[in-house]
Amino acid sequence: MIHLKNIVKQYGNTSALKQINLEIRNGELVTLIGPSGCGKSTLLRVINRMIEPTSGEILIHGENALNLDPVKLRRSIGYVIQNAGLFPHLTVEKNVEIVTELLGWDKAKRKQRAQELLHVVGLAPEKFAHRYPKELSGGQQQRVGIARALAADPAILLMDEPFSAVDPITREQLQAELLAIQTQVKKTIVFVTHDIHEAVRLGDKVALMQEGEIVQFDTPDQILKSPKNDFVAQFLGQERELQRLSLHLVGDIIQQGHGFFDLEQVNINQEHTISIKANARNALSKLLSGVPSLLVLDDDEKPIARVSVHDFIRGAL
């Protein structure tokens, strides 16, 4: 879907991007993360040629994007930024319609698409379509920004720190909303963030950058489990094992052969229980609060295993 080959971006004697090679598959959500000034936003904007690379190739669907009209290219790629970037003089509905209007869609089709997408992002059109951006909360504005980026049904969506300007609770809600939307629309998404928790939660893959280079590109689980070098380990922080647990379910622990036991004489009413589909980090949190063990229940609420802190200590994952 997106293949960057030997991308270089020079500003005078300064190298913002150094021989970047990155392949993003169809339908993947890839997060770009790294310290300030590492080149992650520059790399994002190279993809839709808001920034022209000094050298290298940008292949989209196998076609060199450097040979395309940059305006047409940008209109074919969704783009979401901080603070949504909505037009204050346009209603919510008109903001969502703006790209499809530029593409020449007729009025009825534009309106229908806008209303469909407002439903998708959790904003009932009968309530929000005719409001103006100033009448919305920050989180609602970001939802409108996502709807606008999806309006023309682009195969690719670029997101440049879209949730960084909202409060932590709203940010978590927007992350959950994006994951829910992605299960429906399955776009190829490149998402820039400075928050490692966000990168790990959202990304199918994470690209960690340093000084214009991609230091490690892998699944969140693999990066947290096996940092490539000291820089990666330090950037991930001391809680990386706990972050890794947040990617797994209780079922992953018992699938590793830990926590099984004799089911005879088990009284669920006298046990602390947890679902097989519960987050493994939440399970450990309960255990560390003083609960000696947790009885694991399957989807039919039948006991299938018991886990304790010992299962985590001996490397259940």
pLDDT digits (tens, 9 = 90+) for 212-269: 999 999 999 999 999 999 999 999 988 888 888 888 888 887 766 555 555 566 677 7
Q: Is 140 exposed, middle or buried (0-12, 13-18, 19+ CB in 10 A)?
A: buried
Q: Which of 221, 245, 269 is the last residue of a domain?
A: 245
- Domain with 93, as residue range(s), is 2-245
How many distinct structural domains can be found in the chain?
2
Residues 142 and 266 in one domain: no
Q: Which of 226, 245, 264 is the last residue of a domain?
A: 245
Residues 254 and 240 in one domain: no
pLDDT (mean) for 172-187: 91
Residues 240 and 259 in one domain: no
Residues 76 and 93 in one domain: yes
The label of the residue with tokens 């000094």 reads 54
b/e burial code for range 39-57 (CB count within 10 A of at least 16 → b): bbbbbbbbbbbbbebeebe
Give the SS3 label for residue 87: coil
Residues 284 and 192 in one domain: no
Q: Which of 191, 211, 245 is the last residue of a domain?
A: 245
- List the single range of 14-28, 94-108, 180-194, 252-266 with lowest mean pLDDT: 252-266
pTM score, two decimals?
0.87
Residues 222 and 265 in one domain: no
Residues 143 and 167 in one domain: yes
Query: Does the pLDDT at position 316 exceed 60?
Result: no
As a whole number of angstroms, the distance between CA 80 and CA 158 comes to 6
The number of residues in the chain equals 317
Residues 183 and 219 in one domain: yes
- CATH number (domain holding residue 276): 3.10.580.10
**Per residue in 43-93, pLDDT tens?**
999 999 999 999 999 999 999 999 999 999 998 999 998 877 899 999 999
Please give the distance of CA 277 from its chain centroid, rounded to a whole number.
21
Q: Is 237 exposed, middle or buried (0-12, 13-18, 19+ CB in 10 A)?
A: exposed
Q: Are 42 and 16 in contact (CB under 8 A)?
A: yes
As a whole number of angstroms, the distance between CA 28 and CA 17 comes to 22
Residues 280 and 188 in one domain: no
